[in-house]
């Protein structure tokens, strides 16, 4: 087994990898930017080293610095986590050149799946269902108009090198098509340095369902079931659950087999996720993420498989200890991404110092986090505070536990999106499992009002809690003052009169 692994990442995923390494008896090396010097993961790692200034381009994306530290510390493996360098084939290649194992898939797989056009061509050839469209770059606007007419409007124009929802635009008719092509090309060039775009049929109300796979270096591939990831804001996932509310054993077998074919046709190994759009009883390949996913814990909970540990063991050359028949699914799990953002003000980021932190607990609760009371949420990176995961014997119990956990969660000093999560968990279509990737947009008005109501309610609850816990402490004055100002702003934002009993 590896003797020492360098973690080329930060935050909660760095903590998650350190925990897996500790259980495997592997020493860990953390790297940090100036903004992360006092982060939790740096305290948990066996060694830690500075890699530069706060901006990611000068630290977490500077793989030469990271590789020098790996060589200096004698690390024989590098785990990239997710984001940053996790799907960077050049970084993986440099690791290999220096005899350091990149804990991820082969370089060819990263490159193939990194291009949406090449990925779609590969999947179509392998017999994996793909969306109607053209697997070639758009070179001529007239040809694009002809294709759009053949497959039917609306159509979506996508950047081949895109990711994170960037470089995707919908054209509802021919009058919108030319402008959409030109604007998407411009965005693609600016964001990815590659203006290559292509055209597909646009599904108006699809569900986003993904299949987790594990594959070893000996040709063995299994899937770990499905996750529902339809609740998205600006193409970014917010709430995920496993299994999907609409999943049947028959559909899971079909999607699971398609995901395994996708992995085998590119000689894949490591953990990975094959994402599909599901609509009207049919599913279509969307993309493959060649890394561990943010939402992997919900799959771990319902299968009992430690995905990060298996990923490390696969990289070392171990065979998978499971066959497909060994994988069973128990209960239901939900994940809410707790972010430092103001959900009543268009989800603007809310970086700052966490003055007091109380996380929930009890039966069926798991928290993957990289913060603590006194920690900073820097403005330079993703605003995630924690992943709150609940488990129940069925979906209803998982939802009830999530409601309880959200009501216990208190984060003082910064604004979080907890009010938004509470509003979703009360909404009828969510409760009945009627979801699509347009869920938030379609329920915007009711969710906004409920979020505002919960923001006020939570602020009063936090105020009472702080006053009881800290009493006359100086910290009380500062936190309560901030909460009072926040409550006033919320009241001014909405004309509804709130009459809480402040002296209760």
* Residue among 441, 437, 445 nearest 165 (CA): 437
CA 443/CA 231 separation, integer angstroms: 11
No. of helices (H) and no. of strands (E), the chain: 17, 22
Query: Which listed residue (16, 134, 207, 291) is catalytic?
Result: 291
Q: Alpha carbon 134 to chain centroid distance? A: 28
Q: Are strands 155-163 and 197-201 parallel, antiparallel or unpaired?
A: antiparallel
* Residue among 362, 426, 351 nearest 388 (CA): 362
User: Starting at the edge strand that comes first in sequence, how are the strands of the sheet with 101-102 ordered?
Assistant: 47-50, 27-32, 4-7, 77-79, 101-102
Q: List Cα–Cα distances, 230 to 93, 303, 342, in angstroms.
A: 34, 21, 21
Q: Phi and psi at residue 408, in whole multiples of 5°?
A: -85, -20
* Count of residues making up the chain: 504
417's CB contacts (< 8 A; 6+ apart) are 238, 337, 338, 339, 341, 342, 343, 347
User: Starting at the edge strand that comes first in sequence, how are the strands of the sheet with 221-233 ordered?
Assistant: 282-289, 270-279, 207-215, 221-233, 236-242, 332-339, 384-392, 365-369
Q: Measured in Å, how far apart are the chain's first and last C-alpha atoms?
A: 58
CA 78/CA 81 separation, integer angstroms: 9
- Catalytic (active site) residue 395: no
* Residue among 391, 424, 400, 406 nearest 360 (CA): 406
Torsional class of 160: left (φ above 0), alpha (ψ -120 to 50), beta (otherwise):
alpha
* Residue among 170, 171, 13, 176 nearest 81 (CA): 13
Beta bridge partners of 208: 277
CA 384/CA 382 separation, integer angstroms: 6
CA 296/CA 300 separation, integer angstroms: 6
Helix (H, G, I), strand (E, B) or coil at 149: helix
CA 326/CA 199 separation, integer angstroms: 40
CA 139/CA 160 separation, integer angstroms: 13
CA 328/CA 225 separation, integer angstroms: 9
Cα atoms in the Cβ-side hemisphere of radius 13 Å centred on 111: 8
Q: Which residues are catalytic?
A: 291
């Amino acid at each position: 087994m590896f003797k020492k692994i360098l973690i080329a990442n930060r935050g909660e995923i760095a903590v998650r990898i350190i925990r897996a390494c500790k259980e495997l008896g592997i020493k860990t090396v953390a790297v940090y930017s100036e903004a992360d010097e006092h982060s939790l993961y740096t305290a948990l790692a066996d060694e830690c080293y500075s890699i530069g200034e706060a901006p990611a381009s000068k630290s977490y994306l500077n793989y030469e610095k990271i590789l020098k530290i790996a060589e200096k510390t004698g690390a024989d493996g590098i785990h990239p986590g997710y984001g940053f360098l996790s799907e960077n084939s050049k970084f993986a290649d440099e690791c290999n050149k220096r005899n350091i194992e990149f804990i991820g898939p082969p370089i060819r797989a990263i490159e193939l799946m990194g291009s949406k056009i090449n990925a779609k061509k590969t999947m179509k050839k392998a017999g994996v269902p793909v969306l109607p469209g053209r697997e070639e770059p758009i070179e001529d606007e007239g040809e694009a108009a002809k294709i759009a007419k053949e497959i039917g409007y609306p159509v979506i124009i996508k950047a081949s090198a895109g990711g994170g929802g960037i470089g995707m635009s919908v054209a509802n008719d021919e009058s919108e098509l030319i402008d959409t092509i030109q604007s998407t090309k411009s965005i693609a060039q600016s964001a990815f340095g590659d203006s290559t775009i292509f055209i597909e049929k646009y599904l108006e109300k699809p569900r986003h369902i993904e299949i987790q796979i594990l594959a070893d270096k000996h040709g063995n591939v299994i899937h770990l079931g499905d996750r529902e990831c339809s609740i998205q804001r600006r193409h970014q996932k917010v709430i995920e659950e496993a299994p999907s509310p609409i999943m049947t054993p028959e559909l899971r077998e079909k999607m699971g087999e398609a995901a395994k074919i996708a992995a085998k046709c590119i000689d894949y190994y490591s953990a990975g996720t094959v994402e599909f759009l599901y609509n009207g009883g049919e599913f279509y390949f969307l993309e493959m993420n060649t890394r561990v996913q943010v939402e992997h814990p919900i799959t771990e909970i319902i299968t009992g498989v430690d995905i990060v540990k298996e990923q490390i063991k696969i990289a070392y050359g171990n065979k998978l200890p499971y066959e497909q028949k060994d994988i069973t699914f128990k209960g239901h799990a939900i994940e809410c991404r707790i972010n430092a953002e103001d959900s009543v003000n268009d989800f603007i980021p809310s970086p700052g110092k966490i003055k007091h932190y109380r996380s929930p607990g009890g039966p069926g609760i798991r928290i993957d986090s990289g913060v603590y009371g006194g920690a900073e949420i820097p403005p330079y990176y993703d605003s995630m505070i924690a992943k709150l995961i609940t488990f129940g014997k069925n979906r209803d119990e998982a939802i009830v536990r999530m409601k309880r956990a959200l009501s216990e969660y208190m984060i003082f000093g910064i604004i979080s999106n907890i009010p938004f999560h509470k509003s979703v968990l009360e909404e009828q279509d969510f409760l009945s499992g009627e979801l699509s990737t347009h869920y938030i947009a379609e329920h915007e008005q009711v969710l906004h009002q409920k979020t505002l109501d919960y923001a006020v309610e939570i602020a009063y609850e936090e105020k009472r809690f702080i006053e009881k816990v800290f009493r006359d402490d100086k910290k009380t004055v500062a936190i309560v003052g901030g909460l009072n100002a926040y409550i006033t702003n919320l009241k001014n934002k909405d004309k509804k009169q709130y009459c809480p009993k402040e002296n209760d």
